Amino acid sequence: MKNITDATGNVILSYFKKQHTFDIVEREDGYINVDDAEKMYFSEYIDWRNHEKEAISYAHGRCLDIGCGAGRVLLYLQSKGLFCLGIDSSPLAIKVCKMRGVKHSKVMDLTDISKFKEDSFDSIILFGNNFGLLANKLKAKRLLKNMYKITSKNAVIIAEDRDPYITTNPTHFKYHSYNIKRGRMPGQLKIRVRFMQYKTPWYDYLYLSKSEMKSLINGTGWKITKFINEKNFKSNGEYIAILRKAI
């Protein structure tokens, strides 16, 4: 990834240097959202939301943190004596991880996880709504099958996502309809991240309702054993799913 396209990494590095703290998430229809880097990437466990605290208790053994950002999950799991490898497509994010004391992290795209050997991990963590990185239905099924292959028989996936239908914003409902007309899932976003002069390429990001997630994982070898709602789930739709191997 070239530095000019590493908007996420640049905002992480900027916050680490105690400079700017916000980035912009831009959707293809022009809708924008502003994210706070401190809450997204640097929060300490004591400040995590309750659903995250409950969900991380399911992490065990050898952990893989996908989209690790500045390493907040990695640092917590390290403190608990667990081995945890963090991967992120952002070189600057991984640089910050290392500067913050993360022991194991590397620049790696999610699509390359099939390169890991069988039985490499016992837990896969997708915090920060990072289940959305699975992008679309076909890609998600392929990646979930890859996650099945690289994990142990007692493995768990801790996957955070957001129900796109829990909203009162008419702009979002209009975008859902636009997606359906194009043959896309309603919550399949096309977005990019912007920070100062930096901007990522456009990419797909997938928001799913709980029922849609259940349907999507069919045939991947996984089953959902629990949903953990964020405290304000009825207004923001955020939840974490605990997945275990079905066979």
Q: Where are the alpha helices (DSSP H) in the chain?
A: 7-16, 37, 50-56, 72-79, 91-99, 137-149, 170-181, 210-217, 233-236
CA distance 84 to 181: 42
Helix, strand and coil content of the chain, in percent to the nearest 5, comes to 40, 30, 30
What letter represents residue 98's amino acid? K
Burial class (CB in 10 A: 0-12, 13-18, 19+), 8: buried
User: Which run of H or of E encompasses 153?
Assistant: strand 151-162
CATH of the domain at 208: 3.40.50.150
Give the model confidence (pLDDT) of 26-85 as tens digits.
999 999 999 888 888 999 999 999 999 999 999 999 999 999 999 999 999 999 999 999
Residue among 213, 21, 211 at smallest CA distance from 132: 213
Give the residue with greater pLDDT, 36 vs 191: 191
Query: Could you tell me the residue range of the domain that residue 91 belongs to?
Result: 3-245
DSSP 8-state symbol, 166: S
- Counting the structural domains of the chain, the total is 1
Give the model confidence (pLDDT) of 132-159 as tens digits.
999 999 999 999 999 999 999 999 999 9
> How many beta carbons lie within 10 A of that of residue 231, not counting itself?
11
pLDDT for position 238: 97
pLDDT reading at 2 higher than 80: no
Kindly state the average pLDDT of the residues 103-130. 97
pTM of the model: 0.96
pLDDT reading at 227 higher than 90: yes
CB 46 within 8 A of CB 126: no
pLDDT for position 36: 86
Q: Are strands 62-66 and 83-88 parallel, antiparallel or unpaired?
A: parallel
**Burial per residue of 101-111, b for 16 or more beta-carbon CB atoms within 10 angstroms, e otherwise:** ebebbeebebe
